[in-house]
Structure 1
Amino acid sequence: MGFGRSGRSNNHSTVTAAGAASMNCQEGNDSSCGCGGHEEKKMLKCVVVGDGAVGKTCLLMSYANDAFPEEYVPTVFDHYAVTVTVGGKQHLLGLYDTAGQEDYNQLRPLSYPNTDVFLICFSVVNPASYHNVQEEWVPELKDCMPHVPYVLIGTQIDLRDDPKTLARLLYMKEKPLTYEHGVKLAKAIGAQCYLECSALTQKGLKAVFDEAILTIFHPKKKKKHCSQCHSCCSII
């Protein structure tokens, strides 16, 4: 199944899947897209989790607004809706942001009910966030929503070659995490797939949400990684 995108408005984006998913909508609000017709749309819920400051909010804002936020914004994204059509039926893909800080441990799970897919994020230039995927985030999701599939996402890949970031990591005797690190972790935690992206350059960004949609409708029974989604998902 292949996905393409023809554009994105302030409140909605266009996502299509060859032969199975297509969408054409106008600007609207979070509950409807203003497309003609009155058919009720099913809400598909995608929740993003991970340590604080790994780029979750920027990931969502860059995708939804087609632009990287100019200033750092703490978790204020909250909820966004993208209208998609899958198998001839319209759906709303709800994107939900969460705060990764420990202070929100009791509050955060309140946003989990009815989730269709989780995106577990870590920064490829923050080894602690990588380790916390297995130590903190997977246990939390398995405890709260044991039957919901999740995709592992490596963020901030544009910083792998950033001199200041490399100097900081060198000072702490650390290195950026590689794609192979992500693949290994995805296998270990039973993720549907491992993908990595940059919210700043938008490299790999579209593939992340294409995979989220694919996972909702076609979750893999046998969890395995896929090489940037090309081999098993045929994203184009």
Structure 2
Amino acid sequence: MSASRFIKCVTVGDGAVGKTCLLISYTSNTFPTDYVPTVFDNFSANVVVDGNTVNLGLWDTAGQEDYNRLRPLSYRGADVFILAFSLISKASYENVAKKWIPELKHYAPGVPIVLVGTKLGMVLIPRTTSIETSIQIIYLGMGWVGAPGLNLGHSANGLEVHMSLPHRVSFYTNVDEIHFVSSNVLLFSLAADLRDDEQFFIDHPGSTPISAAQGEELRKQIESPSYVECSSKTQQNVKAVFDSAIKVVLQPPKKMKKKKSYVGCSIL
């Protein structure tokens, strides 16, 4: 039996965009609750993608400038890079083309790059400010029956609404502010995209959202074969990130051949 092909996958990107959390989420199916500096140990395991078994090796790197000289040591022998930016950090998005692509082309020319937008869960944090929803939260006597991950509770000042996402979604100081559709049914909007929530970004000026279209535009700009948005916290598309990296190595996209232009000469 032949040995599985080894694929070295290296994650790069600005500090605090979620590279280490992405690796932890993928390898352990858990999400660290506190900020995690780059302490992820190199990981290797057999992975099956489209019927192909490969031995996937994962390397983590630190994005801070203090590591500019040491970081390229991890690039040697890389088969694919996962270049990550945060969907709620415009600076990390801009640094993809400004900093990371030049660095990777210099130290590892020709190695494919999978572009990844992290912290999708922060971009898609549900809000409870609209009555337009298809999910009903039903009040029955003294208890609440709701969707998974949604916790409703009373406090001295009113009703609190919590989600199993990064932080409290909203807080009503007056229960009367909630829209009652009938005597026993409340409707909450659980699918509003924060990309269109102006007030959230007024309150969080450093959290400029990156749209899917912007991500795709950047992918084309850096000539990446794949772009994936993911959430390490909810594990949405986490597996897809690494599957894409493996597929890029096993089935590299065909490069378009540039047509040579010939300059004709005339003999006088």
Instruction: Give TM-score scaled by structure 2 length.
Output: 0.64
Deviation at 1:222, TM superposition (A): 3.7
Distance (whole Å) between structure 2 residues aligned to residue 88 and residue 218 of structure 1? 13
Deviations 1:100-128 (A, max 9, x none): 00000000000001100001000000000
Cα 1:201–1:86 shift into 2, 3 Å: closer
Structure with more helix by fraction: 1
**Is 1:196 matched up with 2:229?**
yes
SS in 2 for 1:103: helix
Q: Larger radius of gyration, structure 1 or 2?
A: 2
Letter of the aligned partner of 2:106 in structure 1? D
Deviation at 1:92, TM superposition (A): 1.4
**Aligned partners of 2:49 and 2:246 also within 8 Å:** no
SS in 2 for 1:219: coil
Deviation at 1:160, TM superposition (A): 1.0
**Aligned partners of 1:46 and 1:117 also within 8 Å:** yes
Name structure 2 gaps, 5 residues minimum: 128-166, 168-193, 257-268
Deviation at 1:43, TM superposition (A): 2.1
Deviation at 1:41, TM superposition (A): 4.1
- Count of aligned pairs between the two proteins: 186
Deviation at 1:221, TM superposition (A): 2.3
Which residue number in structure 2 is paired with residue 210 of structure 1? 243
For residue 145 of structure 1, the aligned residue among 108, 121, 125 is 108
Deviation at 1:78, TM superposition (A): 3.3
Instruction: Give TM-score scaled by structure 1 length.
Output: 0.72
Q: Which structure has the higher relative contact order (CA within 8 Å, separation 6+)?
A: 2
**Aligned partners of 2:10 and 2:60 also within 8 Å:** yes
**Is 1:220 matched up with 2:253?**
yes
Letter of the aligned partner of 2:216 in structure 1? V
Structure with more strand by fraction: 2
Name structure 1 gaps, 5 residues minimum: 1-36, 224-236
SS in 2 for 1:182: helix
Identity, % of aligned pairs? 48
Distance (whole Å) between structure 2 residues aligned to residue 80 and residue 111 of structure 1? 13
For residue 28 of structure 2, the aligned residue among 65, 68, 76 is 65
